[in-house]
A and B are shown apart, each in its own frame.
Chain A
Amino acid sequence: MVYDILVAPFVEYEFMRRALAGTLALALGAGPVGVFLMLRRMSLMGDAMAHAILPGAALGFMVAGLNLFAMTAGGLIAGLAVALLAGLLARVTELKEDAALAAFFLISLAVGVAIVSARGTNIDLLHFLFGNVLGLDDATLVLMAAIATVSLAALALIWRPLVIECVDPGFLRSVSRAGGPVHIGFLALVVMNLVAGFQALYRIAGRQSVGKSHPVRQTIRGRTSAPLEHVEQAGRFVIGSW
């Protein structure tokens, strides 16, 4: 029973093993970054940035189609732009950073939706937003692993100033100038991990991810069990709509 639920899917299906590897990489990177977001009372930030990367990914899609690197780069640029603009606005006006961020991420989300619907004739917005963790290809897995690696290494590197910046920023300012760069580096880590999460959870279940040689389709064709029917349906729907 326990074996059937917890082990068998991973033994039987390669795409389940891929999903496991991808989400483990995501957990390794995003977990510690998320803890610091909470401790710095910036959890809104994570939510906001998740939406802020949409127009970048959409633009990347428009320019290069379903190209992993174009969409990732676009998402990174859009996320960092929103983070920097919000930080800048908070500095030059009375507005607090979270309020500035809320304004910018809504604008960013709106722009993203506008871009997607302007171009999204053959891809449903819903499928753009809700990707498929079961459709991770090699390039995506490598990207997610790379982001997890960079995140852990970077956290180890900035650990001491980051902790002090959280608990006693006044003290850090009095002994070191590392506070500003550390804050920006941390924001970059947040955006990177959001992009990694986007690959697993927000990725388009498109032609590429359920493509010709993809394990999901092969497995589904070979032996369809009840829990996987919806996967097959989703795959057929997406392939059909192309």
Chain B
Amino acid sequence: MNAQVKFRDLTLGYDRHPAVHHLSGDIAAGALVAVVGPNGAGKSTLFKGIVGVLPPLAGHIDRGGLASRDIAYLPQVADIDRSFPISVFDLVATGLWRATGLFGGVGRRERDQIHAAIAAVGLAGFEQRPIGSLSGGQMQRTLFARLLLQDARLIVLDEPFNAVDARTVADLLDLVQRWHGEHRTVLAALHDLNLVQANFPEVLLLAREVVAWGATKDVLTAENLGRARRMCEAFDEEAAECRADAA
């Protein structure tokens, strides 16, 4: 299988404080990879690097010719201003950016697509609701509807199931499996190891550097998880100034 994303000795960080060190490896096209690690392990940092929001401090990311429009990125919920008076419909509509760009219009065909995406995440009837009135689960469904419209070949999900109830997680996981079935490459940062074991064939265990990477059953061993935890703690003691930057 072709490599979709290649890391070559990649180091990412903020203000010259590295948060992810010397990462090398490939993510195959169509892979479904869970990125697991303690808080501050560099998962979000790695995702920002993959999406291209954060330029590498050293090393190189090869996105296999994917333009930024071919990559869909779901940031952590905290990055979105929920008090902004925008409707579910309008927020989901931004997923059509690839088709509409800065100035393109939204016609009947696009409106049908938007309604279909909102229905697919189970939010039919919520189109005109402001996003501030949504529950955490409904907000996450809205963002998944936008991901559906983005029609991207690489989908990067940063902690998509935080503060979301079991029913919503199950519905959203169905969408993730659907993307996997369509041979899209999906990366997701997750904390729930049971969920990872049940749904993700491949795991990247991160603790500021790669602890283990491969088939889920080989990576999620007690030994590896303990090592990841110790590495993050040891790192914090060595370099206190890095801690504030950990994302």
A39 to B132, CA, bound (A): 13
A65, CB-defined interface residue at 8 Å: no
Q: How far is the CB of B110 from chain A (nearest CB, A)?
A: 13
A173 to B69, CA, bound (A): 11
Q: Which residues of A contact B68 (CB under 8 A)?
A: 174-176
**Known interface pairs A170-B75, A175-B68; A160-B80 also in contact (CB < 8 Å):** no
Q: How far is the CB of B139 from chain A (nearest CB, A)?
A: 11
A135, CB-defined interface residue at 8 Å: no
A164, CB-defined interface residue at 8 Å: yes
B102, CB-defined interface residue at 8 Å: yes
Contact bitstring B27-65, A, C-beta under 8 A = 1, else 0? 000000000000000000000000111000000000000
**A161 and B102 contacting across the interface, CB-CB below 8 Å:** yes
> B residues 61-80 with Cβ under 8 Å of A?
68-69, 71-73, 75, 79-80
**15 A-B residue contacts at CB 8 Å?**
A39-B81, A160-B94, A160-B102, A160-B103, A164-B94, A166-B84, A167-B86, A167-B91, A168-B79, A170-B75, A173-B53, A174-B51, A174-B52, A174-B68, A175-B98
Q: How far is the CB of A70 from chain B (nearest CB, A)?
A: 36
Q: Which 8 pairs of residues, A with B, have the shortest CB-CB distance?
A: A170-B75, A167-B84, A174-B73, A175-B97, A170-B79, A168-B80, A173-B53, A174-B51
Contact bitstring A155-179, B, C-beta under 8 A = 1, else 0? 0010011011011111101111010
**A174 and B79 contacting across the interface, CB-CB below 8 Å:** no
A174 to B71, CA, bound (A): 8
Q: How far is the CB of B231 from chain A (nearest CB, A)?
A: 27
Which size bracket describes the interface of B in this complex?
20 to 34
Apart from A167-B84, A168-B91, A174-B72, list 5 A-B contacts with CB within 8 A.
A167-B80, A168-B94, A173-B53, A175-B69, A175-B98
Q: Which residues of B contact A160 (CB under 8 A)?
A: 94, 102-103
Q: How far is the CB of A76 from chain B (nearest CB, A)?
A: 26
**B102 and A163 contacting across the interface, CB-CB below 8 Å:** no
DSSP class of B's interface residues: helix, strand, loop or mixed? mixed
Which size bracket describes the interface of A in this complex?
10 to 19
A229 to B41, CA, bound (A): 72
- Chain B residues proximal to chain A, CB less than 8 Å: 51-53, 68-69, 71-73, 75, 79-81, 84-86, 90-91, 94, 97-98, 101-103, 131, 146
Q: Which residues of B contact A164 (CB under 8 A)?
A: 94
Q: Which residues of B contact A178 (CB under 8 A)?
A: 102
**B79 and A169 contacting across the interface, CB-CB below 8 Å:** yes
**Known interface pairs A160-B103, A175-B97; A166-B81 also in contact (CB < 8 Å):** yes
Q: Which residues of B contact A176 (CB under 8 A)?
A: 68, 97, 101-102
Q: How far is the CB of A80 from chain B (nearest CB, A)?
A: 23
Q: How far is the CB of B155 from chain A (nearest CB, A)?
A: 11
Q: Which residues of B contact A168 (CB under 8 A)?
A: 75, 79-81, 91, 94
A171 to B147, CA, bound (A): 11
Q: Which residues of A contact B146 (CB under 8 A)?
A: 171
Partner of A39, one of B72, B84, B131: B84
Q: How far is the CB of B233 from chain A (nearest CB, A)?
A: 26
**Known interface pairs A39-B84, A166-B81; A171-B73 also in contact (CB < 8 Å):** yes
A157 to B103, CA, bound (A): 8
Q: Which residues of A contact B52 (CB under 8 A)?
A: 174
Q: Which residues of B contact A175 (CB under 8 A)?
A: 68-69, 97-98
